[in-house]
Amino acid sequence: MKTCLILIDAQESFRHRPYFTTTDLPAYLAAQNALMDGCVSQGIPIVRVFHVEGPKTESNPFALESGLIQPLAELNTLEPVATFIKSRHSALVGTGLDVWLTQHGIQRLIISGIRTEQCCETTTRHASDLGWQVDFCLEATLTWDMQQLDGSTLSAADIKARTATVLKDRFATICSPTEALARAAQVLA
């Protein structure tokens, strides 16, 4: 079974959002880099997805014109096999990624990137519904605290726990980078 890492929205744009903090950034970067390095060493293709939305101006960090639609500076350098630009939460909507995956015989996806509960979770659900097997690398996703309806704070840790809970065994296998790489190696053996 051919596996592919989908690296979602791990881009500089987020540094320019008011909610951005570096609290969980080091742990995320360590996990994301380990996952990417493992994929490279195992010959697992890596697809990069960037998010673009809003006005096409230099002042919009999610516009190509801003110059911020580029990988987070701390990520290890890699040459993805393909790069897709999306404007929806799912990387499979309107990008051609689904066609590319099918044409390349990909049957299992490893999902990682930013934000855990938004684009990573949405892509995971969509991919599962379309028939792909999905490994969701929770440690290799990043999100930030959010304000709930009652004004209280929902922590990034609680958001990640909730995402893992709703995806587990329904839409994906929740795994660490090490586990995802081991699962991909077992499939190749």
Please spell the DSSP secondary structure of 4-30, one letter per residue.
Answer: EEEEE--BGGGGGSTT--SSSHHHHHH
User: pLDDT confidence of 187, banded at 50, 70, 90?
Assistant: low
Q: Is the pLDDT at 189 greater than 60, yes or no?
A: no
Mean pLDDT of 85-92: 98
Q: What pTM was estimated for this model as a whole?
A: 0.96
Instruction: Let me know if 32 is exposed, middle or buried by CB neighbors in 10 A (0-12, 13-18, 19+).
Output: buried
108-140 burial, b if ≥16 CB within 10 A, otherwise e?
A: bbbbbbbbbbbbbbbbbbbbbeeebbbbbbbbb
Q: How many residues does the chain have?
A: 189
Q: pLDDT per residue over 134-165, tens digit each?
A: 999 999 999 999 999 999 999 999 999 999 99
For residues 3 and 43, the answer to whether their CB atoms sit within 8 Å is: no
Q: Where does the pLDDT of residue 186 fall: very low under 50, low under 70, confident under 90, or very high at 90 and above?
A: confident
pLDDT (tens digit, 9 = 90+) per residue, 126-135?
999 999 999 9
Give the CA distances from residue 169 to residues 77, 138, 140, 164, 174, in Å, rounded to whole numbers and listed in that order.
33, 14, 19, 10, 8
Which residue do the tokens 């999905």 mark? 134
Q: Which helix (H) or strand (E) holds 164?
A: helix 156-167
- Helix residue ranges per DSSP H, 15-155: 25-42, 97-103, 121-129
Reported as a single tens digit per residue, the pLDDT across 100-119 is: 999 999 999 999 999 999 99
Q: Are 163 and 122 in contact (CB under 8 A)?
A: no
Cβ(39)–Cβ(110) below 8 Å: yes
pLDDT, tens only, 71-81 = 999 999 999 99
Domains of the chain: 2-188 (3.40.50.850)
Buried b (16+ CB within 10 A) or exposed e, 39-58: beeeebbbbbbbbbeeeeee
| Kind of pairing between the strands at 46-51 and 2-8 | parallel
